[in-house]
């Protein structure tokens, strides 16, 4: 895998997130908006809170939205876009890490519950 080619592909075609409901899309956009603002980016929401515009005092730098399950981060200026794109990738990595930890915790809890239930059943039969 060539990282340069993968970045070029992600910029050109977007990053596939999977099938999302409208509420999941909105939640994702709001989480991304909060993450970008936390990174000291000036952001606004447009299109009924479905599109994020990242700007400076002089110009718009990038536009982010979800189309058909794909996160698109469109450059609107020649300077400053790449840092925005990297902030989005960092957000995605952090989000994925959080989801993996939650899944791991859920599996641990479920395993504990499954073990506990089987013990109760065995005791009952004795």
Q: Which helix (H) or strand (E) holds 126?
A: none
pLDDT per residue as tens digits for the range 5-42:
988 899 899 999 999 999 999 999 999 999 999 999 99
Q: Which helix (H) or strand (E) holds 78?
A: none
pLDDT per residue as tens digits for the range 71-124:
999 999 989 999 999 999 999 999 989 888 888 766 666 665 565 555 555 555
Question: Is the Cβ–Cβ distance between 57 and 94 less than 8 Å?
Answer: no
Q: Which helix (H) or strand (E) holds 115?
A: helix 81-125
Q: How far is residue 106 CA from its own chain's centroid?
A: 20
SS3 category, 45: strand
Domains within the chain, CATH numbers bracketed: 3-125 (3.30.310.80)
The Cα-based distances of 12 to 71, 74, 101, 106 in angstroms read 11, 8, 30, 36
Measured distance CA(4)–CA(119) in Å, rounded: 53
pLDDT at position 103, please? 80
- Terminus-to-terminus CA distance in the chain, angstroms? 57
């Amino acid at each position: 895998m060539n990282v340069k080619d993968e970045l070029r592909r992600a910029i050109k075609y977007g990053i596939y997130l999977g099938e999302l409901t409208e509420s999941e899309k909105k939640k994702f956009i709001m989480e991304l908006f909060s993450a970008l603002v936390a990174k000291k980016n000036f952001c606004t929401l447009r299109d009924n809170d479905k599109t994020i515009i990242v700007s400076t005092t002089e110009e718009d730098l990038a536009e982010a939205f979800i189309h058909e399950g794909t996160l698109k981060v469109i450059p609107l200026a020649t300077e400053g876009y790449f840092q925005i794109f990297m902030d989005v990738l960092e957000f995605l990595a952090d989000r994925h890490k959080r989801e993996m930890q939650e899944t791991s915790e859920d599996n641990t809890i479920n395993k504990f519950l499954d073990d506990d239930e089987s013990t109760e059943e065995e005791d009952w039969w004795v």
